[in-house]
Chains A and B, each alone.
Chain A
Amino acid sequence: MAAANAIDGAFVAAERGLDAAFGARANPLRNLGTLAFFLFWVLAATGIYLFITFDTSVEGAYASIEALTTKQWWLGGVVRSVHRYAADAFVAATLLHLVREWAAGRYRRFRAFSWISGVPLLWLMYASGIVGYWLVWDARAQISALATAQWLDATGLTAEPMARNFVGAESVGDRLFSLFAFLHIGLPLALLGGMWIHVQRIGQPRTVAPRALASAALAMLLVAALLHPATSQAPWDPLQLPATIELDWFLLFMHPLMEATSPAVLWALTGGATLLLVALPALLPGPKPVAAVVDPANCNGCARCTVDCPYQAVLLVPAPGVRTGRQVEVIADRCAACGLCAGACPSSTPFRSTETLAAGIDMPDADVQRQRVKLEAALARIAQATAGRIIVFACAEAANAAALEDARTALLDMRCIGMLPPSFIEYALRAGADGALLVACREGECRYRIGAELTAQRLAGERQPILRKSVPRERLRMVALAAGEEDDLVAARDALRRALDALGPAPRLRPKRDASAERTARGHA
């Protein structure tokens, strides 16, 4: 675990360093999976052009690619090079993505499905890339095809060595190239299907790269293609091997590894690594989160929680006994206990008139009733002050807000800022606070992916449940700061206080806890 923590720390430092250049949304390190998706589409687009011009025959394969590279270097050559470098970048992005998720511990429990479903993608990625090299049918293809055949032969599943298919000119026929082309199309299609499955347990997955990220990646590929065009090795010759061969270490590193060891060792390494990756969620499961629970009596089936859940843990199901009714259901194994569903629930409001609050969906250990009690206690603590009273709603994963507490500042901490229903802000401003400071994780570092984003949208009125327009925005600040940025947090609190001092005390309005407020809350659906 020490290694994971060290690597995680290195990633965090690198991500923050690159934030200064790109911003979190276009930061390639913060969007490795998204980048891989983009590179896949680059590979698909360039691959279509290459396939149109490719001659699937022994005699024509090498020549057609050479013609494309030399006679049409300005288009075909560039497309070929972009295809090659996009494949390498795809491998790099995918492997970095894997290491990043492992180091951050994002493979357990509610993340296990995405983790495990990603493992076969590694095999498909390498198979797709390696077969792509065979299509060139040069000396590199010769080495790669033979090495792969030897590796497969080591399984003992074939009656005759597959390597015999590549030993002499007479053993290689045009149909072999049809097979290669079929594999080089079929395997990436299977990879795409696997990628689709891979993100199925991710709510609002980011599979489309932001324009800035896509543009930068494409520019990098084009510059690489122009500065160092991809070329073929000497043509395939069963009678002669060149003295040296340029190797693509991203995709073909297994060949020299096998040459240095044996096919059995390579099987042990690849098979062992695969089993370890698949077993990792079970080997290191981590603590089990306390899953959200649904209260059907308070659920109107509005489905906001199903949309906002970052891990597809909340489903909409038919309500029992009601023909047209719907209610939500929580799949406990998928639940991260982030509380984003509670933050989205229209019945999760402190304004309701019932003595004991209950929401349609809530966290058993941090329900709306407890939150209102905590909020009222916090407000009571700063009630003696006459102005500049601030209630701080802080994410527990963000910068430590405990140090902010003083006679005019009270804290209500929560496991994710996305857990905060906007009505709590209005309630606080009506019940004694002059201003509210929301502390979210640094952009791109939300432990539950989208908590800060959803909250910002709710405050801006772009996402239900919205913060009502009547709530004075000038008394509200939201900051995104990570642990270690407490000085900035103090500065943000002080800036808000100065603004509040200039504005004067907020008009005092007792929170209405009456039937009309409850109707309003329930009616948001």
Chain B
Amino acid sequence: MPRRGATAILRGVLAWGAFGALIVMLSHAPSIAPLPEGAAMLQVSIAHAGVRLAPCRRLSAEELAVRAPNMRAPEICPRGRSPVRVTVTLDGRVLLDETLAPSGLARDGTSSLYRRLPIPAGEHRLTVRVIDDLRRPAHAFERSATLKLVPGRVLSVDFKPARGGIVLS
């Protein structure tokens, strides 16, 4: 093979080699740390419909009479729901305190929240409080626990009334 051909092939190999090296390098590095060093993660994930703002009530005979015959359902249920307030306290310090509006145009859907809160690993006193009827703030779901979290541990906080309220996992 002529000398120029060999040089061209070498250039080609070098060019593709450089491109391949770039591909491999950026495909793996630099690594990222999902959490700061020595940190754990508090993952607050809640989707809950607050209580109805007004209870269902039966319509009176007069109210039914003025309605069209096909609209005479005996009970009317206002759709609006209460916002949900979520408070997370760690070692006496408030990490999260948010009032979540119900979703939907009629504000009749779930109130939801997803937050990731890095916290130092180690032993902590965690208190989670959920109020799903802001008219009665004293009627709150609350759970406190002392937790020992290793670095990288993800502690999820959820709210599931069917499972007793606040769920830590």
Whether the Cβ atoms of A243 and B23 lie closer than 8 Å is no
Q: From A22, A89, A239, A255, give the contact of B23 (CB < 8 A).
A: A89
Known: A160-B110, A167-B156, A244-B31. A21 touches B151 (CB 8 A): no
Whether, in the assembled complex, A48 has its beta carbon less than 8 Å from a beta carbon of chain B, the answer is: no
B154 touches A244 (CB 8 A): no
- Report yes or no: B110 in contact with A159, Cβ–Cβ below 8 A: yes
Q: Does A216 contact B (CB under 8 A)?
A: yes
Whether the pair A150, B110 counts as a contact (CB closer than 8 A) is no
Q: Which of B30, B112, B114, B152 contacts A243 (CB 8 A)?
A: B152
**Interface 9-residue window, one of A217-225, A268-276, A513-521:** A217-225
**Whose C-beta in chain B lies nearest to the C-beta of A217?**
B16
Is the CB of B47 closer than 8 A to any CB of chain A? yes
Count of A interface residues, CB-CB < 8 Å: 46
The number of inter-chain residue pairs (CB within 8 angstroms) is 127
Q: Closest Cβ of chain A: how far from B59's Cβ, in Å? A: 29
A244, closest chain B residue (CB): B31
Q: Interface 1/0s, chain A 232-259, versus B by CB < 8 A?
A: 0000001111111111111000011000
B162 on the A face (CB < 8 A) = no
Residues of B within 8 A of A (CB-CB), count: 41
Once the chains bind, are A243 and B113 in contact (CB under 8 Å)? no
Q: Is the CB of A224 within 8 A of B31?
A: no
Asked if B17 is at the interface of the complex by the 8 Å CB criterion, the answer is yes
- A86: min CB distance to chain B, Å: 9
Whole-angstrom distance between the alpha carbons of A326 and B112 in the complex? 65
Taking a contact as CB atoms under 8 Å apart, the answer to whether A21 and B8 are in contact is: yes
A249 shortest CB reach to chain B, Å? 4
Judged by DSSP, the binding face of A is helix
Which of B17, B22, B156 has a CB less than 8 Å from the CB of A92? B22
A143 to B158, CA, bound (A): 19
Contacts of B45 in A (CB 8 A): 161, 163-164, 167
Of B34-42, B64-72, B74-82, B135-143, the stretch lying at the interface with chain A is: B34-42
Q: Which residue of B lies closest to A228 (CB)?
A: B24
The residues of A that contact B73 with a CB separation of less than 8 Å are none
Q: Does B83 sit within 8 A of A, measured CB to CB?
A: no
B32 CB → nearest A CB, Å: 5
Within the complex, what minimum Cβ distance (angstroms) separates B49 from chain A? 10
Q: Are A223 and B20 in contact (CB under 8 A)?
A: yes
B16 in contact with A238 (CB, 8 Å): no
Q: What's the least CB distance linking A447 to chain B, in Å?
A: 25
Residue B43 at the A interface, CB < 8 A?
yes
Q: B11 to A243, Cβ gap below 8 A? A: no
Chain B 104-120 against A: per-residue CB contact (8 Å), 1 yes, 0 no?
A: 10000110111000000
A residues lining the B interface (CB < 8 Å): 18, 20-22, 28, 84-85, 88-89, 92, 139, 143, 150, 153, 159-161, 163-164, 167-168, 216-217, 219-221, 223-224, 227-228, 230, 238-250, 255-256
26 contacts across the A-B interface (CB closer than 8 A): A21-B15, A22-B8, A88-B23, A92-B23, A160-B103, A161-B113, A163-B114, A164-B114, A167-B158, A220-B16, A220-B20, A221-B20, A223-B20, A228-B24, A230-B27, A241-B34, A241-B154, A243-B33, A243-B35, A245-B32, A247-B30, A247-B32, A248-B26, A248-B28, A249-B27, A256-B32
Further pairs besides A85-B24, A163-B114, A248-B26: 14, Cβ < 8 Å: A18-B15, A84-B27, A85-B20, A89-B23, A217-B16, A220-B23, A238-B154, A238-B156, A241-B152, A241-B154, A244-B33, A248-B28, A249-B26, A250-B27
